[in-house]
Chains A and B, each alone.
Chain A
Amino acid sequence: MIKKIAFFTLAVCISLLGATYRWADSAHSIGLIKASGGEARHPSSVESGKTTYTLISTATVMPPYHGDARVVLEGDPEMDYRIYSSDPVIDFGIRRHPRFRDNILYDLQPKDRIALWVVMKPPVLDPVCGMAYQEGFTKHNSNGKDYFFCSVECREKFIANPWIYRGREYVRGKYTLAFYDTKTEKPVLRVPLIFTGKGEMKDAGEHHH
């Protein structure tokens, strides 16, 4: 009996940890695609400082909208990203569903549900001026970590006061996964994704559903 209680308690503790802890490199957003601009349920957030992030963007098409939508990740500085759709490997053509090719969702119809996986690789920034890494940047090693600078001035500012700039080499702030109708070029959904600093993520436990 004691063993059973102990394992029940252990399961509760592990599961509580699992339910409350939020992995900082991925987020899930739920949205409604509408002709009037669409709705995302809440801004998703991830913690800056990782090399790769994933945004899972699911959305339902609300009537009367129908059409094709181009999907773009917007934000400054520009980020390297790839978008994938969860489509069957072998399509038997049993039911019509939207197709995703070259970042465009073709043939969206009312009540369609889409699920996109956006894999993002943010650039490394010059921690002083915030410029995204380009060829020709100079490297400086501080406390075993490499930093990259656009100019000698930035590097010297950093060397003089490194504690001010540390952490600023990572992308921060708001990005948007935007869906534009290809005919009107008007947005039909905008999903905000916020890159926060360490410990600033508020929504522990994803509001998934």
Chain B
Amino acid sequence: MPANTTTKKSFLVRYRYWIMLFAALLFLPPLSFLFQFTADSNFCGSWCPRMFFSWRKGMTGGEYLFGFLRSYMGVALVFGILGSTFFFGRYWCSHLCPIGGTMEGGSRILPKFLKINYSGIPASSFRYGYFAVFLIAPAVGLGSLCCNYCNFATVPRIVGAAFSPGDMAYFLRTAGLINLGLVVGLGFIAKGGRAYCNLLCPIGALDALSNRLGLRFGKRISVDGARCNGCNACAKVCPTWSIEMKEKKAEIDQLSCMPCGECEKVCTKEAIHYGKLAR
């Protein structure tokens, strides 16, 4: 892939892998540093970003609000993510998320022949099918996806299992092995490492909506149609398969795009930029 070296890329594009690694070190074992400020050791507890907005059948309004209090760091995290995405795009997903970052990092280390390409799946359709059940199933009393299937619970424990029997215990049961399979299959051995993020992450589903809604106000990755020659190089490297060629011009699906800048790096025509979208 010919890299675009004509112009110097921004700090966030050039040092994305280092930022991802730094974020993973802050969040994941053996340091689990950030969690220790709230006497936690992982995302399960006051940092849980998924359970608080899920309404269970039979819940009173007070119990629902108590869930917000119990997961106060998770609430702050999710609202912080949605707010920053609205104005600046999905930097949490592309640079800071220790879960997505670990899966993408793992995928980049593994050899190509192991990778599965999920780009044939229309990501938004699948994602919102999953997200609809994520919200509705507990509300009507059918069961719950959160907790049972959670990469925020699984990835830290994959890393932690090397150090702690408590984390290893997570995998000594069928649900743990299924979660491991999902993280490996849709993360570590997925082309680009972001299939889990793109298809099954509830935070990603909410964040994608914020990304789409803030389009007119915030900064995003966009394609300059006048410069694009339709070479398809950007679509090939997009970890969230959110670039499609339409009439020989690249078009970005803002419901899946995160500003990782991988496309910007390979565009020899300088057609891809991060900034306010032209109206």
**Which residues on A are within 8 Å of B, measured CB to CB?**
3-5, 7-12, 14-16, 18-26, 28, 52-54, 82, 84-92, 94-97, 112-113, 115, 117, 119, 204-209
Contacts and interface: CB of A to CB of B under 8 A. Distances in A.
A30 to B, nearest CB: 11
B245 interface: no
Q: Chain B interface: which size bin?
A: 35 or more
Given A52-B172, A208-B147, A86 B125 contact: no
Nearest to A28: B147
Given A18-B133, A115-B44, 14 more contacts: A3-B122, A4-B124, A8-B128, A10-B126, A11-B199, A16-B133, A19-B145, A23-B175, A26-B174, A89-B29, A90-B31, A97-B39, A209-B54, A209-B67
B174 A25 contact: yes
A18 B145 contact: yes
Contacts of B117: none
B169 interface: yes
20 contacts: A11-B127, A11-B130, A15-B145, A18-B133, A22-B143, A23-B178, A25-B174, A26-B176, A54-B173, A84-B164, A84-B165, A86-B41, A91-B36, A92-B36, A96-B39, A205-B138, A205-B142, A208-B144, A209-B67, A209-B144
B143 A89 contact: no
B172 A205 contact: no
Contacts of A54: 169, 172-173, 176
B228 to A, nearest CB: 25
B163 interface: yes
A138 to B, nearest CB: 31
B129 A15 contact: yes
A36 to B, nearest CB: 21
A188 B178 CA distance: 34
Contacts of B42: 86
Closest 9 CB pairs of A and B: A205-B143, A11-B129, A15-B133, A84-B166, A89-B30, A19-B137, A26-B173, A117-B169, A95-B39
Contacts of A5: 125
A89 B160 contact: yes
Given A7-B121, A15-B137, A26-B174, A92 B144 contact: no
Contacts of A88: 29-32, 35-36, 41
A86 B174 contact: no
A24 B164 CA distance: 25
A119 B170 CA distance: 10
Contacts of B113: none
B151 to A, nearest CB: 13
Contacts of A23: 173-175, 178
Contacts of B138: 19, 205
B10 interface: no
B45 interface: yes
B15 to A, nearest CB: 26
B205 to A, nearest CB: 11
A112 to B, nearest CB: 8
B245 to A, nearest CB: 17
Interface in B54-68: 54, 56, 67
B43 to A, nearest CB: 11
A19 B36 contact: no
A85 B41 CA distance: 10
A206 B145 CA distance: 9
Contacts of B134: 15, 19
Interface in B8-36: 29-33, 35-36
A10 B125 CA distance: 10
Contacts of A92: 33, 36
A9 B121 CA distance: 12
Contacts of B166: 84-87, 117
Given A89-B160, A209-B67, A84 B126 contact: no
Q: Which of A21, A205, A209 has the most CB of B within 10 A?
A: A209
A141 to B, nearest CB: 27
A19 B133 contact: yes
Given A19-B143, A86-B167, A209 B36 contact: no
Contact of B147 (A7, A52, A206): A206
Contacts of A204: 143
A8 B36 contact: no
A19 B134 CA distance: 8
B129 A19 contact: no
Contacts of B199: 11
